[in-house]
Structure 1
Amino acid sequence: MKFTPPLFHPNIYSDGRVCISILHAPGDDPLGYELASERWSPVQSVEKILLSVVSMLAEPNDESGANIEASKMWRTDRDKFNAIVKKQVLSTLGL
């Protein structure tokens, strides 16, 4: 899953790819961070994936960030983080 254009968010890579467990390759996590049951499997429904993305957007996991700058800013300077995201959204809307 990928946001186009990319979104400034702790769990979204700079190219727009979403980083959440449910979208990671199936099986055991080589780093031991995620359980196999949390990762991709063919039984995942579109609804479950979308709910996971909505949850990620509302409550980022800043301890496992795909975008380190956004993760740090989310923790230490929420006003600046919100300003960057607002500017991005307005730009996307052509405003």
Structure 2
Amino acid sequence: MSGIALGRLTEERKAWRKDHPPGFYARPATNPDGSQNLFSWQCGIPGKEKTLFEGGVFPLTIDFSEEYPSKPPKCKFPKDFFHPNVYPSGTVCLSIINDDGDWRPSISVKNILLGIQDLLDAPNPKSPAQQPAITLFLHNIEEYNKKIKSQTKLYPPPS
């Protein structure tokens, strides 16, 4: 099965290098021996303009299994990333990357990253992943907005 996954990831990498949204980055991690690990990608998702996330580029790791594209990858922000749909571990809760949700093998890395970018500014209160963030989002939006603005400053664009 890993041959299928490796082939698909090789194609994903080529497609990304040819055409990706401005401000995003996505590249395979580097193994200790210097080779590329196509099963683990280091990504950056820019905050959309005119949102609380504007000005930040948020680091995300995408880990693919040997069952990809039959099974979705795992997407993680840094531990304790503050967002209603991100678990304290950093794992993103989004239907298009959920085995039991809307995952389809035709969903590309580009689709995943754009979907997560949309989720940043438009949390889904029906699928909360962490209590503090969803509580503030629903009951104290001013404090929620302050926390998001503060967090955004922690992730300036790479130089």
Q: Compare 74-83 and 2-11 and name the one that shifted more.
A: 2-11
Distance 1:79 1:52 in 2: 25
The structure showing larger relative contact order (alpha-carbon pairs under 8 Å, at least 6 residues apart) is 1
For structure 1, the residue ranges without an aligned partner over 5 or more in a row are: none
1:22 aligns with 2:85: no
TM (norm. structure 1) is 0.73
Cα distance in 2 for residues equivalent to 1:90 and 1:54: 17
Show structure 2 runs of 5+ residues with no match: 1-74
Structure 2 counterpart of 1:16, one-letter code: G
Amino acid in the other structure paired with 1:83: K
Once the two structures are TM-superposed, the CA of residue 5 in structure 1 deviates from its matched residue by 4.8
Between Structure 1 and Structure 2, the one with more helix by share is: 1
Matches within 5 A, 1:54-69: 54-69=117-132
On the 8 A contact 1:62/1:72 being kept in 2, the answer is: no
Is the 8 Å Cα contact of residues 93 and 127 (structure 2) preserved in structure 1? no
- So what's the TM-score if we normalise by structure 2? 0.46
Alignment of 1:3 with 2:87, yes or no, is: no
1:52 matched to 2:120: no
**Paired amino acid for 2:116:** V
Larger Rg, first or second structure (1 or 2): 2
**RMSD (CA atoms):** 1.8
**Percent identity over paired residues:** 35
Checking the alignment, whether the CA contact within 8 Å between 2:84 and 2:128 is kept in structure 1 is yes
Regions of 4+ moved over 4 Å: none
Q: Which protein is richer in strand relative to its size?
A: 2
Once the two structures are TM-superposed, the CA of residue 3 in structure 1 deviates from its matched residue by: 0.7
